[in-house]
């Protein structure tokens, strides 16, 4: 470090010194960084248990230095339910993608929210199945091409994309639901605040907390990271508006 300067930001120690496998520009890695920062700042490493899904983030346990359980595809909410019931004083987070949370796992997602299980969902919604090579997701936009919707998603046969934040907000058991994004530095900062608020509400025992991150997938959207961020803003956000959908009554 040069003399006369002070370090004001460095990579959080809770992020293991491993090069993450995510594609350049992927929001998964941004969110991983934020979770690691929060676990450190809130002194929660000894008290956090993460549940990771099947999908691109299946290796989350190699990146964030907390205890993890690897769930079967779609079942993270069931594992998180049980972990929080067994260890109620721990911070439990269920980190999932759109296939995991909104397709194969939707029953577990809905019922955990309805029962008000006191853990935090971190839902990375990039409207596509990344790890398996770019198939249509329940959140793929109308007209969006994927390997299983090569002519564009047709609502007549595939239905319209699912709006999970709106859906889960209807349950009394959900204490806090916010939709955010990490497409620019201001939004990354907002995402961190939202996740922090979710963790705090979890600690107060008020119910399920749900953070949906409107995300990108440069590889399967077949564009550069820069263009993917533009598409998040211009195509994703109009259908998935950012904002707080549910908050605790004070």
Partner 1 sequence: MGDIKFMKGNEALAEAAIRAGMKGYFGYPITPQSEVVEYLALEEPKRDFVLVQAESEVASINMVYGAAGAGARTMTTTSSPGYSLMQEGVSYIACAEIPCVVANVVRGGPGLGTIQPSQGDYFQAVKGGGHGDYRLIVLAPNSVQEMADHTMLAFELADKYLNPVLILSDGAIGQIMEKVELPEPVKDLPEKPWASTGKTPDRERNVISSLYIKSEQMEQKNIRLQAKYRKIEANEVRVEEYRMDDAEVVMMAYGVTSRICKKVVDLGREKGVKMGLVRPITVWPFPTERLSELANDDKVKMFVTAEMNAGQMVEDVRLAVDGRKPVYFTGRMGGILPTPEEILDFTLKQMK
Partner 2 sequence: MPAKGYVEIDREICKGCNLCVLNCPTKCLALNTSDTNSHGLHYAYQAEEEKCIACMNCAVMCPDAAITVYRKKD
Q: Can you give the binding site for partner 2, defined by CB under 8 A?
A: 1-2, 4-12, 15, 19-20, 22-30, 33, 36, 184-185, 188-189, 224-226, 229
Judge whether 114 and 173 are in contact, CB under 8 Å: yes
Tell me the number of residues near partner 1 by CB under 8 A: 32
* Structure-token match 């198939």, residue found: 135
Q: 33 vs 118, which CB is nearer to partner 2? A: 33
**Separation CA 68–CA 97 (nearest Å):** 17
Tallying the residues shown for the chain, one arrives at 250
Judge whether 12 and 37 are in contact, CB under 8 Å: yes
Among 13, 18, 41, 87, binds partner 1 (CB under 8 A): 87
Judge whether 112 and 81 are in contact, CB under 8 Å: yes
203 interacts with partner 1 by CB under 8 A: no
**Separation CA 51–CA 73 (nearest Å):** 11
What lies within 8 Å, CB to CB, of 234 at 6+ separation is: none
58 interacts with partner 1 by CB under 8 A: yes
Phi, psi dihedrals of residue 48, rounded to the nearest 5°: -110, 135
Judge whether 246 and 176 are in contact, CB under 8 Å: yes
Choices 80-88, 160-168, 180-188, 191-199; region in contact with partner 1 by CB under 8 A:
80-88
Judge whether 211 and 194 are in contact, CB under 8 Å: yes
User: Dihedral sign, CA of 96, 242, 165, 139?
Assistant: negative
Q: 154 vs 226, which CB is nearer to partner 2? A: 226
Judged by beta carbon distances under 5 to 8 A according to partner kind, the member of partner 2, partner 1, none in contact with residue 224 is partner 2
Judge whether 205 and 248 are in contact, CB under 8 Å: no
49 interacts with partner 1 by CB under 8 A: yes
Q: Which helix (H) or strand (E) holds 214?
A: strand 208-214
User: Interaction with partner 1 in 96-155: which residues (CB under 8 A)?
Assistant: 107-108, 110-111, 115
Judged by beta carbon distances under 5 to 8 A according to partner kind, the member of partner 2, partner 1, none in contact with residue 70 is partner 1
Judged by beta carbon distances under 5 to 8 A according to partner kind, the member of partner 2, partner 1, none in contact with residue 21 is none
Among 23, 40, 42, 90, binds partner 1 (CB under 8 A): 90
83 interacts with partner 1 by CB under 8 A: yes
Residue 40 burial (C-beta neighbours within 10 Å; 0-12, 13-18, 19+): middle
Judged by beta carbon distances under 5 to 8 A according to partner kind, the member of partner 2, partner 1, none in contact with residue 66 is partner 1
168 interacts with partner 1 by CB under 8 A: no
Q: 139 vs 219, which CB is nearer to partner 2? A: 219
Interface residues toward partner 1, by CB under 8 A: 45-49, 51, 58, 61, 65-72, 75, 78-83, 85-87, 90, 107-108, 110-111, 115
């Amino acid at each position: 470090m040069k003399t006369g300067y002070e370090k004001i930001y460095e990579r959080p120690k809770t992020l293991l010194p491993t090069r993450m496998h995510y594609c350049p520009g992927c929001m998964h890695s941004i969110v991983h960084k934020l979770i690691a920062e929060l676990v450190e700042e809130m002194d929660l490493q000894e008290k956090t248990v993460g549940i990771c899904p099947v999908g691109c983030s299946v290796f989350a346990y190699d990146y964030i230095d907390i205890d993890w359980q690897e769930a079967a595809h779609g079942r993270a909410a069931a594992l998180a339910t049980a972990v929080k019931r067994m260890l109620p004083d721990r911070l439990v987070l269920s980190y999932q993608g759109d296939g995991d949370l909104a397709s194969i796992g939707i029953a577990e997602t809905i019922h955990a929210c309805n029962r008000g299980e006191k853990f935090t969902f971190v839902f990375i919604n990039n409207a596509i199945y990344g790890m398996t090579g770019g198939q249509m997701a329940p959140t793929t936009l109308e007209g969006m091409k994927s390997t299983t919707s090569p002519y564009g998603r047709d609502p007549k046969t595939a239905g319209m994309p699912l709006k999970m934040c709106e859906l889960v907000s209807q349950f009394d058991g959900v204490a806090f639901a916010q939709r955010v994004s990490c497409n620019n530095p201001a939004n990354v900062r907002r995402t961190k605040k939202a996740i922090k608020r979710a963790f705090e509400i979890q600690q107060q025992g008020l119910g399920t907390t749900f953070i949906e991150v409107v995300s990108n997938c440069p590889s399967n959207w077949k564009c550069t990271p820069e263009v993917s961020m533009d598409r998040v803003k211009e195509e994703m956000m109009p259908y998935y508006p950012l904002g707080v959908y549910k908050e605790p009554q004070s």
